[in-house]
Structure 1
């Protein structure tokens, strides 16, 4: 339609033609719904607010000064309603937490499980889309949502938001560029698949038929639309507490015809309005629901008389004394329909209150509710309740929902033995032993608390539904995401991070962003998990469900991300075992032995079968929980011993150590299977004895010539070890080459960047593995050319021995998009000794250790990533490397 059609339709509406308004609803409902969803992030609530937007527009239609701007006016109304909604309630996505008693009785256990799984999958997709959209600035996020969910053209969005088509197109293009192609398709498919409920338009039409638009106010003088728009924008900004520095941008009158940037944006900021909060109620599938109300409406005459003529004892205390919480008191009055001029008495409460549903009202104190002894159903979601002792007398309760409060002590619930449904999700509960006697419980929701021991529930034989996600629990056995495709499909250069996820020159990245900047990482279990003994051996313990979600999120950000758990088998923290534990390595004085000078860990005797069993149990726990792709084992230089004292002596001989190592790795491989990575630190050595069980090696190199450079001979040794590893370890392979930085120079010094290029291109031309170049410093006294952590500063101040050999720095050289390898490994360039070249889909990697500069002639024009020179001929210095992109 042309814009003038809106004007004609509005005139028809104001003349009494409601069908014309129905046409306007059909035209704009998807746009408004998309806009509202961007704000509230819940499709069902967005539908309700969309409906309210059109109803409010209908009531106020006669106040619209410029009918040409109907779309922008709808925008403002929708935004205001979103702000009101955010003020009034903040409901959490829930799993049947708000299902009525009647519905719960009708849902079989099997149907519940099916619905819960469907919801989990839907919520997971919703969370992924939300995370992807959060990568975009607000202006781009809004345009993407209107484009895909609202199914609007760029021209329609331009009119709706009041900016130029060119600006909208630019925002959409930038958003697609920020999102990877697969991410953009995922967002498009998800938002494009959302359908508005078919009855929204019908509901609006029905309600419109029962109301009349507000008469046009008499205003002198008449305000032109531009001034009105400016007032709306300015008022909105003031409500959102926008700081003065942004006001100047909005002081010009708002124009829907604007060709420049100024526009109304949806700003997420807290506001406070003096409005009574009345949150909508929604069950699992998005439908409005309440606990059934009492029979009858309001007070009958006899009941009013009984209330007014209550006993002297009942009237002796005012309601403010025996029920001090104003929000609770008001909710009870509303429920019982007690007039403002009638008293609320304990006797009346006891006789008439059988159900109560009060959500997100800020209730703190339940005192007084103990008199409602006929209560059968009670819902108090999203309040600020800490003490639930008044509930101990409500022994008739069958349904109780206390979700999203601040409850930690459940002892008052011990007497409520008639309870069949109990919701305690999202509180601060640690001890659930008071629930052990609630033998009639059929459904219990206790997710997102701090519970560690669930044994009190063992005797609840009638329990059909139990949700304990988000608590501390032992990991269960689930399958892992296949790792081979992630290793095979990644692009190069492919960079890894060992132990430290921090990146020195990217301080503004979140911890998750730093992790997925790399394709491979190993370190501790992470995810706030810890080791926990069980009857079947050690398992990982903690908030397993949160960890699983985080793992999926990391993969959504980097689909090729691979994570290993580094397992210590040579040493342990003193707190891991008692001081009397028989498997500590002890010196001639019987004292436990430090593993490293200045370190805090102590040597353990891994040649003993008990210690070997511990490592195998940990490895299998990693394999079974599904959160990781494999394990990493350090100190794996075959033919050398590691259990040594500070004088160079050894506590166990080489044969005993390697017999133990081979036994452990063989047992792990047999139990964990083929789709489980085992990577070890061989330094710069080969590992023929253990190669059949291993997927790869960590080649940890060190600098020569006084920690200033790699020599030609040293690089030749690294090449040989890397090639041997590529040929002898099992697939899928993880060979990781780490270069060591010049310690007393800045990470980005010319020599450090040159050595980084050497290591990177050596890895690219000789393997399909991963590379890294770290800043490494050891010793007591040293200085840094970069910011160090507070803990490390303390080490310096105290002068204590310490080391930090894997501090990470991100080099722009690694951002080159080489694609995937096409050429063979270790190919000499034109048969020149020491010059290696390998072709990739988007260019070439060249590495030179020939002893002199080399002229490189390529068949196509390319640009050197480091040199910036474009052409077919390039000069590459000795002991250097370069990536040439087409």
Structure 2
């Protein structure tokens, strides 16, 4: 610390405040600086469309996108415009991290800094990724609801316990037993704030992601400790009521959705196509800037219609990010996905907002293309152009096209 920092730390101590709350860190990590790195606002604004995101786990299509080398793995990651990760669970699944910061403590839940080795590696990874995709945005998940048993000492006050004093079971899909965290404990909430601040101060990540619909006191304290400029997103699906509660604090919603059912043999839905459209519209109109709304639909990888539907829904209803990924109940790490040629189209810049048409579809114009989304339950729509366009769904060139319900298409201007 310099003399001013020492004076500030003494004042903090006198006031009984944590160093992190005073704008200082105790872990000794120095913020990583990358020459030529754009601001968060610039990277969000300059992203290309469609903007695909990676939720924890990677593109999994080795026949076309191999990962035999670290550079190939990073090349695959760089195809995404938004990525978040969380080392405790991903490393527990033996899933490789893209950026790669690792907490510097035997029990990650007690850490407030990162290992020097992971900081050095993360800087290399970030530099490489920004060279491939200058507009990439990154987040780090801070665990608040539950965690693996190794996350904290067994006797920690940060675990939620039942009447007999036993830890309460949490998520059942992890590589080791997960237990609920005592997220109403004020000391635990403060620790989360300290961790969020350490994430941002590292210089590797642009902000924090919170899973499991969030919890308002934790959303508030994370924002307080991170400051006003960092990004914060929460997995609130299509829960507009949560969006209303959090709108002053968060930049985006992770909309983790299964509008066609939880699995092919399970018709129970997580969101519907209609609720996804309505909630996405609310988030775009009400959350703080810069916005990073991220819309995901689960499905079978060969279901190209649903892939097109979620992609064009996102493009016509938002300036956000999209993903079509595996069903969560599949016995592999969640959110793994293919890469589709439909996502390789260069739409250019949006020319205004989406417009709902008399036939029930929604369209949006870009400098290089026209995008159409036809919602579930609508009739097949007929489209006519004055000049030839090419369908990204079929490759067909012409002036007249049809789109079925719960489908969409991108028509390239020729």
Same structural fold, with TM-score higher than 0.5 when normalized by the shorter chain: yes
The correspondence for 2:380, drawn from 853, 872, 878, is 853
Tell me how far 1:581 sits from its aligned partner: 1.3
| Structure with more helix by fraction | 1
Residue in 1 that maps onto 2:169: 594
Distance 2:137 2:227 in 1: 17
The correspondence for 1:632, drawn from 209, 212, 230, is 209
Distance 2:352 2:223 in 1: 32
Distance 1:820 1:878 in 2: 26
The correspondence for 2:157, drawn from 559, 582, 590, is 582
CA 1:710–1:556: 2 relative to 1, 3 Å: farther
CA contact (8 A) 1:528 1:542 kept: no
**Count of residue pairs brought into register by the alignment:** 357
Tell me how far 1:570 sits from its aligned partner: 1.0
Q: Which runs of 5+ in 1 are unaligned?
A: 1-472, 638-660, 780-801
Distance 2:189 2:399 in 1: 57
Is 1:559–2:134 an aligned residue pair?
Answer: yes
Equivalent residues in 2 for 1:369-380, closer than 5 Å: none
Structure number with greater Rg is 1
Residue in 2 that maps onto 1:513: 75
The correspondence for 2:188, drawn from 611, 623, 626, is 611
Is 1:737–2:295 an aligned residue pair?
Answer: yes
Tell me how far 1:633 sits from its aligned partner: 0.2
Distance 2:314 2:213 in 1: 21
Distance 2:412 2:179 in 1: 49
Residue in 1 that maps onto 2:17: none
CA contact (8 A) 1:837 1:846 kept: yes
CA contact (8 A) 2:43 2:136 kept: yes
Aligned-CA RMSD value = 2.5
Residue in 2 that maps onto 1:754: 305
Tell me how far 1:594 sits from its aligned partner: 2.1
CA 1:673–1:598: 2 relative to 1, 3 Å: closer
CA contact (8 A) 1:837 1:844 kept: yes
Is 1:828–2:356 an aligned residue pair?
Answer: yes
CA contact (8 A) 2:52 2:321 kept: yes
Deviation per CA, 1:677-719, whole angstroms, max 9, x where unpaired?
Answer: 00000011122111101000001111336745999x9222111
Residue in 2 that maps onto 1:764: 315
Residue in 1 that maps onto 2:219: 665
Distance 2:369 2:144 in 1: 43
Is 1:493–2:38 an aligned residue pair?
Answer: no
Tell me how far 1:620 sits from its aligned partner: 0.1
CA contact (8 A) 1:530 1:541 kept: yes
Tell me how far 1:723 sits from its aligned partner: 0.2
Residue in 2 that maps onto 1:680: 234
Distance 2:213 2:223 in 1: 16
Distance 1:620 1:530 in 2: 15
CA contact (8 A) 1:519 1:561 kept: yes
The correspondence for 2:343, drawn from 793, 814, 823, is 814
* Secondary structure in 2 matching 1:539: coil
Tell me how far 1:507 sits from its aligned partner: 4.3
Residue in 2 that maps onto 1:63: none
The correspondence for 2:366, drawn from 823, 837, 840, is 840
TM-score, normalised to structure 1, is 0.38
Residue in 2 that maps onto 1:869: 396
CA contact (8 A) 2:342 2:392 kept: yes
* Secondary structure in 2 matching 1:668: helix
* Secondary structure in 1 matching 2:253: strand
Distance 1:879 1:771 in 2: 16
CA 1:574–1:728: 2 relative to 1, 3 Å: same
CA contact (8 A) 1:539 1:618 kept: yes
Deviation per CA, 1:516-544, whole angstroms, max 9, x where unpaired?
Answer: 111111112545532236xx971122322
Distance 1:662 1:477 in 2: 28
Deviation per CA, 1:624-683, whole angstroms, max 9, x where unpaired?
Answer: 11111111001126xxxxxxxxxxxxxxxxxxxxxxx33332233233233210000001
Distance 1:475 1:489 in 2: 30
* Secondary structure in 1 matching 2:259: coil
The correspondence for 2:86, drawn from 518, 521, 524, is 524
Equivalent residues in 2 for 1:106-145, closer than 5 Å: none
Q: Which runs of 5+ in 2 are unaligned?
A: 1-26, 88-96
CA 1:885–1:631: 2 relative to 1, 3 Å: same
Tell me how far 1:841 sits from its aligned partner: 0.8
The correspondence for 2:272, drawn from 692, 700, 714, is 714
CA contact (8 A) 2:32 2:123 kept: no
Distance 1:528 1:856 in 2: 46
Residue in 1 that maps onto 2:325: 774
Distance 2:356 2:291 in 1: 24
The correspondence for 1:883, drawn from 406, 410, 414, is 410
CA contact (8 A) 1:530 1:542 kept: no
Distance 1:768 1:683 in 2: 17
CA contact (8 A) 2:263 2:329 kept: no
* Secondary structure in 1 matching 2:49: coil
Deviation per CA, 1:169-224, whole angstroms, max 9, x where unpaired?
Answer: xxxxxxxxxxxxxxxxxxxxxxxxxxxxxxxxxxxxxxxxxxxxxxxxxxxxxxxx
TM-score, normalised to structure 2, is 0.80
CA 1:885–1:567: 2 relative to 1, 3 Å: same
CA 1:598–1:491: 2 relative to 1, 3 Å: closer
CA contact (8 A) 1:474 1:542 kept: no
Tell me how far 1:818 sits from its aligned partner: 1.0
Distance 2:384 2:147 in 1: 54
| Structure with more strand by fraction | 2
Distance 2:102 2:310 in 1: 35
Residue in 1 that maps onto 2:5: none
Distance 1:577 1:876 in 2: 52
Residue in 1 that maps onto 2:253: 697
Tell me how far 1:844 sits from its aligned partner: 0.7
Is 1:568–2:143 an aligned residue pair?
Answer: yes
Tell me how far 1:477 sits from its aligned partner: 3.5
The correspondence for 1:503, drawn from 56, 60, 63, is 60
* Secondary structure in 1 matching 2:258: coil
Which has the higher relative contact order, 1 or 2, with Cα contacts under 8 A spaced 6 or more apart? 2
Distance 1:773 1:532 in 2: 34
* Secondary structure in 1 matching 2:248: helix
Residue in 2 that maps onto 1:418: none
Deviation per CA, 1:101-148, whole angstroms, max 9, x where unpaired?
Answer: xxxxxxxxxxxxxxxxxxxxxxxxxxxxxxxxxxxxxxxxxxxxxxxx
Distance 2:221 2:172 in 1: 32
Residue in 1 that maps onto 2:22: none
